[in-house]
């Protein structure tokens, strides 16, 4: 009886362990499909051909070198950043960790095995107890936990996608910064050459006795200032390239790459605010993250409701009872007692095997049965956690509404900045710079003829230099605000084509305004 029950219990334990091993064997963490999903969604949103893949990291350097071959465009710079930026690469590991949480959420609580023994004073067979118990609340809690984990996985993937958009637009802005710094470097060099020609002209006039040494000294001071401006422009260009290299993940590479996109107006037409806001609402990943957070919070409310019954454990248990050791038999004393009773020499009574089996069968050798352990929700019915989950859910709903306000603000500010930058750049290109160039020619001619002092020439040259810088600043702002507008729209702008009556470009608007001013 005892051996049979113990054998049955051992078989149950072995079965449970084998089943657990099979379940664990099936519950492998494989984030590769999630990596692929994130990469495909980034490619589709940002219109790039390749994105970092943790399973093919060894090929990354070759892909990056291929993109650098022949110079780097702005779109290629985005591709390099999404392949080679170390911070962006690290974000994919968060997807793997979140997938592990999904796998964990679907696993049952491990069963509990209990074995105990108690020894008898004075000798004898010890008492042996054993039990196997399993938590049953997993039956109704695991589906909700899994939905929460899957919502959090989606939130993690969306966070990576949102960061991809940020890195892409940041890389574009850094690329335009480099083009802007290159233009400022050229402007500084041109200005230095211009003031050197003015210094030569002043020296010629000084040698001819047509001007004073003061005029030549003023021009020489201007040359020294121009040299200083050229040094600062070169320094700022180098720092801008270093910042771009960091975003591209090549800051430790040799700085031998070139930027091939021109620093020019691409005639981009800024869509209406309504179209931009509609695009942002549909595309922005932070809005989708907010949706995933709300969904996870709603599921958490359901989970807290299910935790009103926090624990329900069923189990199997058994007990091998203790037995006192029988005293040793004294053969001589038993023979003497039997002989006295029979009044002759008589052997003591010996039980047959059948008699011994009858006695043995009457002994309770082991106990075997089931158990249920239930936590009664009398004092704590999880009211506090249910209320807390509800408050968190309501908070996330309000935060999502605030996010829509933030998106609208971002769009309107970015579009306003983009349109203003277009107007400024067109104003400089069409009016201010041509006028400044004309002023330089007039000042040089009049100074050469002795009609004006050198101060007029210096003032005209300073104005020309400053206005060229402001024109470059306006063009840089126009390109950068377009990148910022792309980020505000979630990585994709509304479809716009050629300028039309409802969305004219900045130069057309400015031309009409200037004609109106000239006519007045």
Q: pLDDT digit string (tens) for 482-495?
A: 888 888 888 888 87
Q: Mean per-residue pLDDT for 10-15? A: 52
**The predicted structure's pLDDT at residue 391:** 94
The encoded tokens of residue 393 equal 């859910």
Q: How far apart are CA 412 and CA 407, in angstroms?
A: 9
**The predicted structure's pLDDT at residue 394:** 94
Lowest-pLDDT range of 195-199, 256-260, 279-283: 195-199
Q: Is the pLDDT of residue 277 over 60?
A: yes
| Residue burial 207-230, b: 16+ Cβ < 10 Å; e: rest | eeeebeeebbebbbebbeebeebb
**The predicted structure's pLDDT at residue 502:** 36
Cα-Cα end-to-end distance for the chain: 116
Share of the chain above pLDDT 70, in %: 82
Q: Where is mean pLDDT largest: 165-169, 320-324, 447-451?
A: 165-169
Of residues 284 and 6, the one with the higher pLDDT is 284
Contacts of 45 (CB under 8 A, 6+ apart): 161, 164, 165, 283, 490, 491, 492
**The predicted structure's pLDDT at residue 398:** 94
Q: Is the pLDDT of residue 326 over 70?
A: no
Q: Is the pLDDT of residue 397 over 90?
A: yes
**The predicted structure's pLDDT at residue 314:** 86
CA dihedral 262, 266, 270, 271 (to 10 degrees): -120
When computed from its CA atoms, the radius of gyration of the chain, rounded to whole angstroms, is 43
Task: Give yes or no for a contact between 423 and 402, defined as CB atoms under 8 angstroms apart.
Answer: no
- Residue 119: band (very low, low, confident or very high) from pLDDT cuts 50, 70, 90: confident
The CATH number corresponding to 2-313+380-519 among 3.40.50.1100, 3.40.50.1370, 3.40.50.150, 1.20.1600.10 equals: 1.20.1600.10
Per-residue pLDDT of 183-234, as tens digits, reads 999 999 988 888 888 878 778 777 777 767 887 788 788 889 889 989 999 9
Per-residue pLDDT of 149-184, as tens digits, reads 998 999 999 999 999 999 999 999 999 999 999 999
Per-residue pLDDT of 359-393, as tens digits, reads 566 666 777 788 888 888 888 888 898 999 999 99
- Chain mean pLDDT for the chain: 81
Lowest-pLDDT range of 180-194, 230-244, 433-447: 433-447
- Residue 123: band (very low, low, confident or very high) from pLDDT cuts 50, 70, 90: low
Task: Give yes or no for a contact between 83 and 51, defined as CB atoms under 8 angstroms apart.
Answer: yes
Q: Which helix (H) or strand (E) holds 77?
A: helix 74-84
Task: Give yes or no for a contact between 162 and 280, defined as CB atoms under 8 angstroms apart.
Answer: no
Domain range list for the chain: 2-313+380-519
- Residue 94: band (very low, low, confident or very high) from pLDDT cuts 50, 70, 90: very high
- Residue 114: band (very low, low, confident or very high) from pLDDT cuts 50, 70, 90: confident
Q: Mean per-residue pLDDT for 235-256? A: 90
Angle between helices 506-519 and 383-427 (to 10 degrees): 50
Q: How far apart are CA 91 and CA 156, in angstroms?
A: 9
Per-residue pLDDT of 47-90, as tens digits, reads 888 899 888 888 888 899 899 988 899 999 999 999 999 999 99
**β-bridge partners, 124:** 324
**The predicted structure's pLDDT at residue 492:** 85
Residues in the chain: 520
Handedness of CA 51, 53, 56, 60 (dihedral sign): positive
**The predicted structure's pLDDT at residue 8:** 52
**The predicted structure's pLDDT at residue 482:** 87
- Count the neighbouring beta carbons within 10 Å of the beta carbon of residue 369: 10
């Amino acid at each position: 009886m005892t051996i049979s029950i113990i054998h049955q219990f051992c078989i149950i334990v072995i079965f449970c362990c084998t089943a657990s091993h099979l379940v664990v064997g099936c519950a492998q963490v494989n984030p590769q499909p999630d990596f692929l999903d994130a990469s495909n969604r980034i490619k589709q949103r940002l219109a790039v051909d390749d994105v970092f893949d943790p399973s093919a990291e060894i090929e990354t350097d070759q892909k990056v070198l291929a993109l650098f071959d022949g110079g780097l465009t702005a779109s290629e710079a985005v591709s390099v950043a999404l392949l080679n930026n170390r911070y962006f690469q690290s974000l994919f590991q968060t997807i793997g960790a979140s997938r592990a949480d999904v796998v964990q959420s679907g696993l049952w609580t491990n069963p509990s095995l209990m074995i105990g023994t108690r020894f008898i004073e004075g000798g004898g067979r010890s008492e042996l107890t054993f039990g196997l118990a399993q938590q049953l609340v997993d039956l109704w809690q695991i589906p909700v936990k899994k939905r929460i984990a899957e919502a959090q996985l989606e939130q993690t993937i969306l966070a990576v996608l949102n960061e991809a958009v940020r890195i892409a637009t940041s890389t574009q802005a850094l690329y335009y910064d480099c083009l802007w710094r290159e233009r400022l470097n050229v402007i500084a060099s041109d200005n230095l050459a211009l003031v050197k020609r003015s210094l030569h002209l002043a020296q010629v006039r000084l040698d001819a006795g047509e001007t004073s040494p003061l005029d030549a000294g003023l021009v020489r001071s201007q040359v020294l200032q121009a040299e200083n401006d050229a040094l600062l422009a070169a320094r700022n260009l180098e720092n801008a390239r270093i910042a771009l290299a960091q975003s591209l993940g090549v800051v430790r590479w040799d700085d031998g790459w070139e930027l091939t996109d021109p620093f020019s107006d691409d005639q981009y037409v800024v869509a209406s605010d309504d179209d931009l806001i509609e695009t942002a609402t549909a595309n922005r990943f932070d809005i989708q993250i907010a949706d995933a957070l709300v969904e996870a919070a709603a599921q958490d409310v359901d989970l807290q409701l299910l935790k009103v019954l926090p624990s329900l454990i069923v189990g199997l248990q058994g007990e091998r009872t203790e037995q006192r050791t029988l005293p040793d038999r004294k053969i001589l004393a038993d023979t003497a007692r039997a002989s006295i009773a029979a009044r002759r020499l008589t052997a003591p009574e010996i039980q047959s095997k059948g008699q011994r089996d009858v006695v043995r069968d009457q002994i309770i050798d082991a106990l075997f049965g089931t158990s249920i352990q239930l936590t009664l929700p009398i004092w704590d019915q999880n009211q506090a956690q249910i209320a807390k989950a509800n408050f968190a859910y309501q908070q996330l709903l309000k935060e999502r509404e605030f996010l829509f306000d933030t998106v609208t603000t971002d769009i309107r500010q970015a579009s306003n900045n983009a349109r203003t930058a277009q107007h400024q750049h067109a104003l400089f290109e069409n009016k201010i710079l041509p006028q400044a160039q004309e002023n330089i020619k007039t000042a040089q001619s009049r100074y050469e003829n002795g009609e004006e002092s050198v101060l007029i020439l210096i003032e005209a040259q300073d104005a020309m230099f400053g206005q060229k810088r402001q024109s470059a600043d306006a063009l840089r702002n126009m390109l950068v605000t377009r990148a910022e507008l792309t980020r505000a729209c979630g990585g994709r702008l509304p479809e716009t084509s050629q300028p039309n009556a409802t969305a004219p470009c900045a130069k057309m608007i400015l031309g009409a305004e200037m004609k109106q001013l000239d006519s007045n």
